[in-house]
């Protein structure tokens, strides 16, 4: 996609498209309120976008809502015929795919079990490209414009490189350029926790105000940090590896090679590993336990098993310590706890609250609102799909030569 700077008119078009992408279908007056634009400016911009087929008008809405001079609001939205994007998430030997049209509507999804951990770089990219191509072909998606891919680990979004990932066997993987060459499409990559954070904040306007820290628990522990709804980047345009902050030097083994990381106490693999030691339950066939295996551990704890209840109590304390670190280092307005690990939030919550209150300066603790968002891994593909759509919108915002 072009990196040329936008003209002032193109910038205004981009702002308008971004508003519709975030908020969904809006009437012209609502667009003006969101963007602080005059009615004349909104009408001028939307007229050209409608003429170009980028936007479509919906006059079939509820005529009892928002009457203006006896006429119902006409809402504008993206046309569904501008092409599609594919969102991909790579986990431990598994791939999740989602196909979305240009209006943001889900068209198809697929789950693929595929060994990835031991593949060399070229073979890994071949497998991913073939999987994406087959998925698009099987769903008659001949107009895929872009691909977004979420991956665990340290992801350099600027250069499109996965510097390190616990689920891939190669370092400094030029994933974006390698996939783009194979697919003939633009490819953007993102850390999976940042992708989930982006999707969650797009769903809730309140979380797009101020500073929002999304702490994802599940296969691992990750952090997505947003300022005014936009992801905060580090020096290499990557996200945070907050799950690998060390809490205790002599703590349990972590996948990163260290000991005592936040993740080593709290991730699914850590909880299942400790549950195995407690009651000799069967080991998972893969390093990462299945959702069924984790649900079985949670159910047994809820039934009153004292050892497993203590396991979740200690995990809740670690989660509280982690939230306290965020509060006292970043001063977020919102902390969102999300991810598949929220399946056990009722077991984690009492010790989480106690640890947060006892280990956090009260004046700082009062500044942050805690939210729990139950979420599956599906939302990871939603996050990169939304980012890919926004990149597509950048090209749509450009004025075409006469």
Instruction: Give the angle 345-347-353 at the CA atoms, nearest 5°.
Output: 75
Mean pLDDT of the chain: 90
Q: Which of 162, 154, 190 is nearest to 178 (CA)?
A: 162
pLDDT at 65: 47
Pair (191, 317) in one structural domain: no
Pair (213, 345) in one structural domain: yes
CA-CA distance, 242 to 135, in Å (whole number)?
Answer: 33
pLDDT at 68: 46
Structure confidence at residue 2 as a pLDDT band (50, 70, 90): low
List pLDDT tens digits, range 121-143: 999 999 999 999 999 999 977 78
Pair (120, 29) in one structural domain: no
Pair (137, 168) in one structural domain: yes
Q: Per the domain annotation, does 56 fall within a domain? A: yes
In this structure, is the dihedral angle defined by the CA atoms of residues 100, 290, 246 and 324, taken in order, positive or negative? positive
Q: Per the domain annotation, does 387 fall within a domain? A: yes
Domain count, the chain: 3
Pair (358, 233) in one structural domain: yes
The mean per-residue pLDDT over the stretch 31-40 comes to 97
Backbone angles phi, psi at 246, to 5 degrees: -85, 125
Q: Per the domain annotation, does 273 fall within a domain? A: yes
List pLDDT tens digits, range 289-327: 888 999 999 999 999 999 999 999 999 999 999 999 999
CB within 8 A of 313, min separation 6: which ones? Answer: 347, 350, 351
List pLDDT tens digits, range 144-175: 999 999 999 999 999 999 999 988 888 999 99
Write down which residue in 56, 79, 102 finishes a domain. Answer: 79
Tokens linked to 309? 């209840």
Domain of residue 231, CATH code = 3.30.420.40
Residue in this structure with the two tokens 């007229």, named with its chain if needed = 47
CA-CA distance, 155 to 165, in Å (whole number)?
Answer: 8
Is 66's pLDDT higher than 50?
no
Q: Which range marks the domain in which residue 63 is found?
A: 8-79
Q: What is the CA radius of gyration of the chain?
A: 23
Burial of 68 from C-beta contacts in 10 A (0-12 / 13-18 / 19+) = exposed
Pair (95, 178) in one structural domain: yes
Lowest model confidence (mean pLDDT) among 52-56, 253-257, 350-354, 382-386: 253-257
Lowest model confidence (mean pLDDT) among 119-133, 167-181, 224-238: 224-238
- Which secondary structure element, helix H or strand E, spans residue 388, and what is its range? helix 378-397
């Amino acid at each position: 996609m072009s990196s040329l700077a936008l003209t002032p008119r193109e910038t205004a078009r981009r702002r308008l498209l971004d508003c519709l992408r975030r908020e969904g279908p809006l009437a012209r007056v609502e667009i003006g309120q969101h963007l602080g634009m005059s009615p004349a400016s909104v009408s001028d911009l939307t007229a050209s976008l409608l003429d170009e087929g980028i936007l479509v008008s919906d006059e079939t809405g509820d005529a009892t809502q928002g009457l203006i001079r006896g006429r119902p609001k006409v809402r504008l939205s993206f046309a569904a015929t501008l092409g599609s994007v594919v969102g991909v998430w790579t986990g431990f030997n598994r791939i999740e795919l989602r196909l979305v049209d240009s209006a943001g509507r889900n068209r198809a999804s697929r789950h693929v079990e595929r060994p990835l951990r031991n593949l060399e770089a070229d073979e890994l990219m071949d497998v991913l490209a073939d999987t994406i191509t087959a998925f698009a072909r099987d769903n008659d998606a001949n107009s895929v414009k872009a691909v977004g891919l979420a991956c665990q680990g340290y992801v350099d979004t600027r250069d499109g490189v996965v510097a390190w990932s616990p689920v891939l066997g190669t370092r400094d993987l030029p994933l974006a350029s390698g996939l783009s060459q194979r697919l003939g499409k633009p490819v953007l990559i993102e850390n999976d926790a940042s992708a989930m954070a982006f999707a969650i904040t797009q769903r809730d306007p309140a979380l797009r105000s101020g500073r929002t820290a999304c702490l994802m628990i599940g296969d691992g522990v990750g952090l997505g940090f947003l300022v005014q709804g936009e992801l905060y980047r580090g020096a290499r345009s990557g996200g945070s590896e907050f799950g690998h902050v060390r809490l205790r030097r002599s703590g349990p083994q972590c996948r990163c090679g260290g000991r005592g990381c936040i993740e080593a106490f709290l991730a699914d693999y850590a909880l299942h590993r400790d549950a195995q030691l407690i009651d000799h339950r069967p080991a998972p066939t893969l390093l990462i336990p299945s959702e069924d295996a984790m649900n079985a551990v949670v159910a047994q704890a809820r039934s009153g098993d004292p050892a497993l209840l203590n396991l979740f109590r200690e995990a809740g304390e670690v989660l509280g310590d982690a939230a306290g670190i965020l509060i006292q280092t970043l001063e977020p307005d919102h902390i969102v706890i999300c991810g598949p690990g929220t399946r056990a939030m009722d077991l984690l919550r009492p010790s989480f609250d106690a640890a947060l209150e006892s280990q956090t300066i009260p004046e700082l603790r009062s500044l942050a609102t805690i939210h729990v968002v139950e979420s599956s891994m599906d939302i990871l593909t939603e996050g990169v799909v939304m980012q890919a759509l926004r990149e597509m919108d950048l090209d749509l915002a450009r004025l075409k030569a006469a």
